[in-house]
Structure 1
């Protein structure tokens, strides 16, 4: 192991000794200085995770969260200088973290918070003018081949747990006592100006949106949504997306629609 790799490994592992060739400019004890630096780095990374996953921390408490985050940090050091990107695999880590097994919904709450971060930092995209979509929808014979592009900030989460309600409870919109944790919910995350919104949507709506994100034309996407939810309402779903500014472009597919 080269000296740089040894330094990084020792920095995130308190069981390792201070690198042997480490020197200080003023002749002070390198091990003592390194211990302070190690603690500051670890604390900074844990603080970054706490800022990115505030609801997760509220659900488990600060002490448990910081202990869990410390384990994560030691096994998953940052791979970029941008701390806002740190923690991309934190939800997967939580799902496999045995001490958190009694909270099976915790990983999905973390996934929802990660989608909010990505939405906040996503590229800007002007919403489609309502008249443009109305014109496209006025040609029913061509609806099946209509392609809709959605804003880059949009994200979806299909959860077996009440993640939207949990999120709302921690924003003061309802109480935790009102939340049925085992109620499956689909979350739509998008940005409206500088505000990131978390909205609960029907399963059929989520299937349609996912299909549109995959580049499927409206006809095929609608069939998939109806197969999932026979009560799916295409008009209501499109109106909801349009009001939210989620649709940015529409065009007709010149190729054969995806099945």
Structure 2
């Protein structure tokens, strides 16, 4: 057997109980198989802690074991493992009574993405305040590289997620309304807060390269009662905005 074929067979056998590789029949091979499986389960649990806390470790590991056998790691950086785990949960029949679970998983994933994203200097509010009204409307700002945001129209995903992410003992009843989430990392630590529909529409527009005036229109179109001044202040305070590269290069 050629080395490449052996390596491929060995990798497959580590997660396949029915593998035909001769080495896999050896009793000691089970030790390696168990080690690999446990490593994958621990990685998923570390990458999706809110999901694990919400459903309990036993349920999570049973679901994760099924995921691991069908979607083994393809990257040695286990921080990246489980990129499609939220989609897996969305189609996982035992999670059918937990329709909010994929959304919670997506926010866990957003935390990891924010954690490893590139650094950048957030916009200083004083810089915006110094612009003329015309320049302010035409300026292009962009989401911080670490900013992650999402609107969940059908469920209070952010509240469910943040209570489990922070291991909160808050037992107050959750209002079953749509809500959004914004995660950022302006400095060393990931921070998060609830996001309005207008926040998400504004950030979407900025990500598409729209000037600030058009992004404001998009926010108000999405949410008619949005206060653009408050919205902008909140995003600046969260460190969620940077000067768009093209704007920065011409200033």
Q: TM-score over 0.5 for the alignment?
A: yes
- Contact 2:121-2:186 within 8 A present in 1 as well: no
Give the aligned partner of residue 94 of structure 2.
99
Q: Within the alignment, does 1:196 sit opposite 2:199 as a pair?
A: no
- Contact 1:164-1:198 within 8 A present in 2 as well: no
> What does the per-residue CA deviation read over 1:47-85, in whole Å, with 9 as the maximum and x for residues that have no partner?
011011111011111111001101111111112111111
Q: CA deviation at 1:30?
A: 5.9
- Which residue, 194, 206, 210 being the options, matches 1:216? 210
CA distance in 2, matches of 1:2, 1:172: 46
Flag the 1:163–1:174 CA change in 2: closer, same or farther, 3 A.
farther
Q: Within the alignment, does 1:83 sit opposite 2:78 as a pair?
A: yes
> What does the per-residue CA deviation read over 1:72-122, in whole Å, with 9 as the maximum and x for residues that have no partner?
111111121111111111101110111111100000000000000010111
SS at match of 1:200: strand
Give the aligned partner of residue 56 of structure 1.
51
C-alpha RMSD of matched pairs (Å): 2.0
SS at match of 1:45: helix
TM-score calculated relative to the size of structure 1: 0.87
Q: CA deviation at 1:127?
A: 1.8
- Which residue, 41, 44, 61 being the options, matches 1:46? 41
Q: CA deviation at 1:4?
A: 2.3
- 4+ runs of 1 displaced by more than 6 Å? none
TM-score calculated relative to the size of structure 2: 0.89
Give the aligned partner of residue 140 of structure 1.
133
- Contact 1:143-1:218 within 8 A present in 2 as well: yes
Flag the 1:77–1:149 CA change in 2: closer, same or farther, 3 A.
same
Q: CA deviation at 1:246?
A: 2.0
For structure 1, the 5+ residue unaligned runs are 23-28, 254-259
Q: Within the alignment, does 1:167 sit opposite 2:142 as a pair?
A: no
> What does the per-residue CA deviation read over 1:127-181, in whole Å, with 9 as the maximum and x for residues that have no partner?
2222211112xx223333220022110001211221221123222556244223x
SS at match of 1:195: coil
SS at match of 2:58: helix
SS at match of 1:199: strand
CA distance in 2, matches of 1:55, 1:135: 42
